Structure 1
């Protein structure tokens, strides 16, 4: 098994665990990002009303979702999200390691020619992460459009309304992934009717720009990891020992820097991927990336680009740190097993 395949599978495993643990925060954050409010009434509103928004912090929003929709509301779209996570992390880490190996080989080659120190620099790290991220976005964007719509939606069925109307003490907990396959199919059909096949790539432009997020994250991560292991000796397995806690910390720092730098683009992407309220206030309807940016500035101000940022920092930093910590441990185990197998084969 190639090193790229090992990293791809390990990334999928780490991403799966991280997603399961932080998914409720992701759902709340998506709702915060896609809630819309104008600073002033819009003359283009069909009914003369002004778009409204619930303003609440993370804890209050979690409580509201549970109170109105049950625990299942926090896990809306979990099934396609897990599918998307496995697909995204597999694709991303496979190509990242493939490009990383090529960059490292090139750096060693340059060192033999008297250029550089044989290690991958910041610019090359950014390029590697950007290339892997772009391929990931183009291949998996349709899954995330469906996930965003499911997370942003609220239950409307009469059965759920009757469940919501019960007093909290008598309300039964809803299943973790409350959406039926029929609901997921309906979302896909609505999306297709709304925009055709191209609709599954809604928000792809800001998402492609958003590859700068993992690019920045891994530039910081790889730089800190190189500094951390610079003076450490290589162990018998051909690796430099790094503890899970150290991976967790430097992974957190990398994701924190990337999230702060790119959060406004994430809000724009979520707005574009969420279902558009056709026939209602024009200030909350977007025809494309630039239209969304200009309308958000005009009707919501710059603060509109930072809605739910505190929730996202907690969710994304925790998820990224957990993912990297689990992934690196899985890679270590896989490499040890492969090395042991190679030694057995060589001894025969």
Structure 2
């Protein structure tokens, strides 16, 4: 009775289970977080310009800007450095958490699939893995992005604290939840899901470019590259490869309502507001993030190998 009965002769062996968690590496989380935070600190003022352009739809309460430089100088003149860095705290939390979690989940999913396949993944499998990681990450970080957008759109908050609707990141999170519930914290989630396709395409391109480049140089596919090579791969993948729903000054019933009202009031131009500062910001941000990630993760993983 006490001992378990032995397996019967001829019975099929128990299936081998590949635990996903043994592919998890905290080094990817730390490296991605480091890259996201550093790129945000450097380029947050351009992110602020992008968002203010994107929501500039004629409301009287909004300042009117003639261009990128005019927006930057106007904010600096009236609100100072603090004005240019409105919303930087949730932006750092959001960028750090998003990049950290993205790399964390992506590398775990990729390693799991590579073990199952016993070979490197192809372009489609990289695309699917990146999309899966993006959806998981968005589910966790969307409230942070809503909070960042609300803080960035507090006009003149940099000079007069009494005008602030939100005192800071956590105050905004609490007030949004109290006044709008979970739905308020997840505004912009649906278009955000579409945005994960952009990230998935970028990751697919990045992985393929690295692999093809190393193959061309007759090196292993995961061989470490130089900083300049990482910058080139990141920039090219970005080239290859949602503020309105999160705005507290307008109320939209959903994605279709945003599209219809933007088209009716502003035409085609309305869909592309902020695209120039966004392009100027996201390409260097992508390069900074990927270079920091690759070097930090490689450094931490080498330490892990030495200690094992």
| 1:30 counterpart = 2:13 | no
**Alignment match of 1:243 (pick from 226, 237, 246):** 226
TM, length-normalised to structure 2:
0.84
Shift of 1:121: 1.5
| 1:227 counterpart = 2:200 | no
Q: 2:284 matched to which residue of 1?
A: 318
Shift of 1:135: 0.5
| 1:95 counterpart = 2:105 | yes
Shift of 1:125: 1.1
Query: How many equivalent pairs are there?
Result: 286
Q: Unaligned stretches of 5+ in structure 1?
A: 38-48, 109-117, 162-178, 259-268, 278-284, 343-348
Instruction: Verify the 8 A CA contact 2:102 2:133 in the aligned structure 1.
Output: yes
Counterpart CA distance in 2 for 1:233 and 1:216 is 25
Counterpart CA distance in 1 for 2:286 and 2:262 is 28
Partner SS, residue 155 of structure 1: coil
Report the aligned-residue RMSD. Answer: 2.6
TM, length-normalised to structure 1:
0.75
Change (3 A) 1:52 1:94: closer
Shift of 1:257: 2.6
Counterpart CA distance in 1 for 2:197 and 2:83 is 31
| 1:188 counterpart = 2:173 | yes
Shift of 1:181: 8.0
Instruction: Verify the 8 A CA contact 2:94 2:145 in the aligned structure 1.
Output: yes
Counterpart CA distance in 2 for 1:184 and 1:119 is 41
**Alignment match of 1:328 (pick from 271, 275, 294):** 294
Counterpart CA distance in 2 for 1:61 and 1:334 is 41
Instruction: Verify the 8 A CA contact 2:83 2:158 in the aligned structure 1.
Output: no
Q: Unaligned stretches of 5+ in structure 2?
A: 1-21
Partner SS, residue 196 of structure 1: helix
